[in-house]
Amino acid sequence: MTTKTVIKLENASIFQQDNLILSEINFEIQAGEFVYLIGQTGSGKSSLLKTLYADLKLEKGTGEITGYFLDKIKENEIPYLRRKIGIIFQDFQLLTDRTAYENLFFVLQATGWKNKFEVDTRINEVLELVGLGTKSFKMPFELSGGEQQRLVIARALLNKPDVILADEPTGNLDPDTSDEIFKLLHQINKSGTSLIVTTHDYRIVNKFPAHVFKCEGGKISVKKLLQEKN
C-alpha cells in the first residue's frame, strides 16, 4: 500500500525579511503522521509553520504541501491552500463577540459553504468531536482556556483538512488541561489527519510519543518515533 506524501521540503531555506532563519531543510511527512517540532524560542519553529501555510514565502529550495508548491504559489491560490490545512494558534484568535457556534459559522461562510443544513451538521459534528457539544451557545469568555482551545481545534477541523499545523497549542494551559488537549490531537491523528505540533514541553513529547523534528542552530534534525514513554 502506497503512502501519500502530504508535505515535502527539499533544500529549503526560510527567511524573515533578509534574515536566514533555517537552511538545508529536507524532510517528508506522510499522510497520517504526527510530528512534534521542538526547539528553543527563536529557533525557527513558528517560521517553518508560517512557510507551510504560505504566510512566509519560500525563497529558496522547493516545498509542497497538500498538492500546492510553496516556492511557486500565487497570492490568489493561498486561500485554497489554507482550506486544506487546519491552523491552531496558541492565542486562540477567536471572535470574542460571537458564540462558539457563530465562530465556526463565520469560517464555513467565508470558505464557501452555503447549505444551511450542511453547515449546521458540520458545526455540530466538530463540536461533538472536541467535547463541546453542549457549549455551542457560549461566548468565548464563558469558556475555560482548555475549552477555548478545543473550539480552536474544532475550527481547524471544519473543512476536513489533510494537515493540521498547531503552534504551541498548550502554551497557555496547565499540565492536566495540556494532556487532555494532546489526547484529543492524537485522537484526531488516528482518524488519518497529519499533524505538525510545535511545543517546548518535553513532558508532553515523552508522554505522547511521536516523530520529532528539532530546530537547532539554523537546521532541522529528524528523529523517528521516540520509543520511551514516561
* Band of residue 92 on the pLDDT scale cut at 50, 70, 90: confident
Give mean pLDDT, residues 47-70: 93
pLDDT at 186: 94
pLDDT at 41: 84
In the sheet with 219-223, reading across from the earlier edge strand, the strands are 85-88, 163-167, 194-198, 34-38, 211-216, 219-223
| Choice between 157 and 227, residue whose per-residue pLDDT is larger | 157
| Distance (Å, whole) CA 17 – CA 57 | 10
Are residues 49 and 198 in contact, defined by beta-carbon separation less than 8 angstroms?
Answer: yes
pLDDT at 229: 41
pLDDT at 196: 96
pLDDT at 184: 95
Taking only the tens place, the pLDDT of each residue in 100-138 is 999 999 999 998 899 999 999 999 999 999 999 999 999
pLDDT at 2: 54
Whether 160 shows a pLDDT value over 60: the answer reads yes
pLDDT at 40: 86
Give mean pLDDT, residues 47-59: 92
* Band of residue 49 on the pLDDT scale cut at 50, 70, 90: very high
Q: How many CB atoms lie within 10 A of CB 204?
A: 22
Q: Is the dihedral of CA 114, 116, 122, 126 positive or negative?
A: positive
pLDDT at 228: 41
Give mean pLDDT, residues 36-60: 91
Mean pLDDT over each residue of the chain, to the nearest integer: 91
- Helices 145-157 and 100-110 sit at what angle, rounded to 10 degrees? 20
| Distance (Å, whole) CA 163 – CA 161 | 5
Whether 1 shows a pLDDT value over 80: the answer reads no
pLDDT at 230: 36
| Assigned C-alpha cell, 193 | 489527519
Taking only the tens place, the pLDDT of each residue in 10-33 is 999 999 888 999 999 999 999 999
* Band of residue 222 on the pLDDT scale cut at 50, 70, 90: confident
Whether 208 shows a pLDDT value over 60: the answer reads yes
